[in-house]
Amino acid sequence: MRATLGKVKTPYLLLFPGFAFLFIFFILPIINLAQTSTQTPIAGGDTGQNEQTFAFSNYINAFIENREQFGRSFIYATLATIFALAIAYPLAYAIAFKSGKFKNILLVLVVAPFFTSFLLRTIAWKQILGEEGFVVPTLRNLNLMGQSTTITSTSIAVVAGMTYNFLPFMTLPLYASLERIDPRTIEASGDLYANAITTFRRVTLPLSLPGVVAGTLLTFIPAAGDYVNAAILGSPNTKMIGNVIESRYFKIVDYPTAAALSFTLMAAILILVTLYIRKAGTEELV
Amino acid sequence: MSVDPITARGDLRLTRITKSYGEFTAVDDLTLTIPKGSFFALLGPSGCGKTTTLRMVAGLEEPTVGSIHLGETDITTTRPYQRPINTVFQNYALFPHLTIFENIAFGLRRRGVKDVKERVDKVLTLVELPHLAQRKPTQLSGGQQQRIALARAIVNRPALLLLDEPLGALDLKLRRQMQIELKWIQREVGLTFVHVTHDQEEAMTMADTIAVMNEGKIEQMGTPADLYDDPETAFVANFLGQSNLIKGKIDGNDGDNVVIDLFGQKISMPKSRSHAVDNSLYAGIRPEKFRITRTGSQVRGNTLSGGHIEDVSYIGVSTQYVVAMPWGQELMVFEQNDDGVPPFNKGEEVVISWEPNFTFGLRGDEDIEAGMEVNPEQLDE
């Protein structure tokens, strides 16, 4: 009898630490954030003193005021995801199928940037793309860039920084799903009259689709909420929604608007991701 | 005049094919003709070069030296997708993201065939699985996947169908059933089948012609009965079934027969069945060709006396005996349980006899262990 009871309880006991952690550090803050998002400043109170007034208009005001930054966030995130996919797919393909004994070394190199902090790497990009770096003078000498144009403080720099920073998140799931493909299915495709291009289109690509979906999500979601790249590599003209939330919280100390923006961002990402997964067709995913 | 290889038909000819990987020679100067319409088996243990040979025919590997012709067309360097050859892969290699219908239609669609639906339906009926058309491969059992892999290949009506250990992943009972079905399908569609296997029983059940391969070379080629009844090498004698190989010396001629001295006892065998090159040879006799009689009874043919029953195993249709001979060798004897004679007991003294025509002679310098005791783990290449 005791043994049966123990068996029933075991899964719950195992789940308890995870649930407790999520409750304290995710559920409670979310509830708190939801409350904050509908508060308004206390009349005559100090900065940051708010009272609950269920002002749902906060959401409308926050969105209308910052719709430009919202749009920019999703455009930049989409561009960074597309560029990361374009770079990571051939890379992951080469590692999975063509690298032979160098496979492990290449995988370590993909992960190597994580040994340095995200912030430091982004600051390094500022140096690389800056006036004293080698990119700008080289492009100017080759007459590919005007003498007075710069790269830093432009949207190019922000998208480039995001592409670079999220590249490993794209590469690793792609590698994992390409590596799982049975090479015999690729041989079978050749055997069944498909040339290399058709084989890629009809066999390799569809079989790697789970990796494409996972990689694009892991890149797009953090990229849409990112503010570090825009803050370090951009200018006021390249502000993303993350930068707005950051300044509302820490500079203007306007907690309700910051909270409402955070919720709007989460909802927007959730909707886009749901539509994307529907479109990508989970049924097609093996 | 250049001919599109995809339309090539006719016999498959491998001419002096060698395939080396660095120092290792997988296939060594192999020459082989596979007649159009035959069911041909390449049989051999793991690492004998049979799969490499198959992959070269499929175009998945290129020979280091030599040429491959299909009819009059040289296909040595033709890309796999340009060859009129289809393969049933080991473990099937079905496309997991496509339905069974689309798996089978894959080759037809690539070639722009018009009546895809009709042809896929027809081949699904042939393999008796029309109800599974809309399933995905992972929803099928091993035996069903095997048939779909076959259907996916034969629907293209290739000049040549290659089967790479096609039944290796199935259990014994299903394998037996599929052997019979494959043979039937081959007759039905009339294609040339080239079948690679390490399973001698599978090769013998299905193939018209078997080439036994060992260390990159063909040891012997012939019908299953030829290979079994008259093996030319110890490797073939041991790899196809079991053999008793007894060391002896040629002692003279007796018409069309040779007289052989086996440890002081004289036997005879047809000259034509001796592959010895000098006076020394091994006399080979299959275990079921032996008869056991009690010492003193009347026997015909070749006899060897002085044996003692060492071990008796009753296995229903037959009883298997191990008989210890005076010169220290143990012989295997399989007796049919069809004559009502009670089995012999352990320790009884017996005489072994057989028809001289069942004897085969191997060169005296052969390694009589060759082809024996193949490690089952090595078989799953």
> What value does the mean pLDDT take over residues B93-110?
96
> Which residues sit opposite B73 in a β-bridge?
B70
Predicted confidence at residue A148, as pLDDT, reads 80
Contact assignment for A195 to B81 by CB distance below 8 Å: yes
pLDDT at A141: 87
A166 in Cβ contact with A219 (< 8 Å): yes
Contact list, A187 vs chain B (CB under 8 Å): 60, 80, 87, 89, 93
DSSP state of A19: H
Closest partner residue to B86 among A182, A192, A207, by Cβ?
A192
Inform me whether the C-beta atom of residue B186 falls under 8 Å from chain A C-beta atoms: no
List helix spans (H) across B62-130. 100-110, 116-126
Percent of chain B with pLDDT over 90: 73
A209 CA to chain B: closest CA distance, Å? 10
Question: Within a domain: residue B369?
Answer: no
B60 vs A: CB within 8 A: yes
pLDDT greater than 50 at residue B379:
no
Q: How many CB pairs under 8 A join A and B?
A: 66
Q: Does the residue B380 lie in any domain?
A: no
Pick from A182, A192, A286: CB nearest B110: A192
Task: Based on the fold, state whether residues B124 and B81 are members of the same structural domain.
Answer: yes
B262 and B127 assigned to the same domain: no
Q: What is the pTM of this model?
A: 0.81
Name the packing angle between helices A67-93 and A205-225 (round to 10°): 140
Long-range contacts of residues B25-31, Cβ cutoff 8 Å, at least 24 apart: B25/B216, B26/B52, B26/B216, B27/B52, B27/B53, B27/B56, B27/B63, B27/B216, B28/B215, B28/B216, B28/B217, B29/B65, B29/B66, B29/B217, B30/B66, B30/B216, B30/B217, B30/B218
Interface of A with B (CB under 8 A): 182, 184-185, 187-195, 198, 202-203, 206-207, 209, 284, 286
Question: CB–CB of A185 and B94 under 8 A?
Answer: yes
Task: Report pLDDT for B376.
Answer: 46
CB atoms < 10 A from the CB of B113, how many?
Answer: 16
pLDDT, tens only, B187-242 = 888 889 999 999 998 999 999 999 999 999 999 999 999 999 999 999 999 999 99
pLDDT at position B3 is 59
Which residues, other chains included, contact A48 with Cβ-Cβ below 8 Å and sequence gap of 6+?
A: A253, A255
Give the number of domains in chain B: 2
B166 with B284, same domain: the answer is: no
**For the ranges A48-57, A142-151, A260-269, B35-44, which has the lowest average pLDDT?**
A142-151
User: Does residue B211 fall inside a structural domain?
Assistant: yes
Q: Can you tell me whether residue B306 is helix, strand or coil?
A: strand
Closest-CA residue of chain B to A286: B97
User: Model confidence over B243-265: pLDDT tens digits?
Assistant: 999 999 998 888 899 999 999 99
**Considering the domain boundaries, does residue B193 fall inside one?**
yes
To test the contact with chain B by mutation, choose from A191, A204, A212, A284 the residue with the greatest count of B C-beta atoms within 10 A, namely: A191
Rounded distance between C-alpha atoms, residue A239 and residue A227, angstroms: 8
Query: With an 8 Å Cβ cutoff, is B180 touching chain A?
Result: no
**By mean pLDDT, which of A194-198, A281-285, B187-191 is the weakest?**
A281-285
Contact A191/B96, CB-based, under 8 Å? no
What average pLDDT does range A238-263 have in this prediction?
92
B181 and B313 part of one domain: no
DSSP 3-state assignment of B136? Answer: coil
Q: So where are chain A's domains?
A: 66-284
Are B282 and B218 in a shared domain? no
Query: What pLDDT does residue B97 have?
Result: 93
Q: Which member of B58, B90, B96 has the closest CB to residue A191? A: B58
Rounded mean pLDDT of A257-272? 94
What does the pLDDT average to over A180-191? 95
User: Is B347 contained in some domain?
Assistant: yes
Residues in chain A: 286
- Which tokens hold the place of B252? 């003279």
Check residue B223 and give its pLDDT.
96
Is residue B192, in this structure, part of any structural domain at all? yes
CB contact under 8 A, B89 and A195: no
Using the beta-carbon criterion (under 8 Å), do A206 and B87 form an inter-chain contact? Answer: no
Of A279 and A194, the one with more pLDDT:
A194
State whether residue A39 is helix, strand or coil. strand
Which range marks the domain in which residue B294 is found?
Answer: 242-363
Q: Is a pLDDT exceeding 70 seen at residue A145? A: yes
Classified by CATH at the fold level, domain A66-284 comes out as MetI-like fold (1.10.3720)
Q: Cα–chain-centroid distance for residue B62?
A: 25
Which of B204, B229, B254 is the last residue before a domain boundary? Answer: B229
Instruction: Identify whether B370 is part of a domain.
Output: no
Q: What is the CATH number of the domain that holds B104?
A: 3.40.50.300
Where is average pLDDT lowest: A50-64, A146-160, B112-126? Answer: A146-160
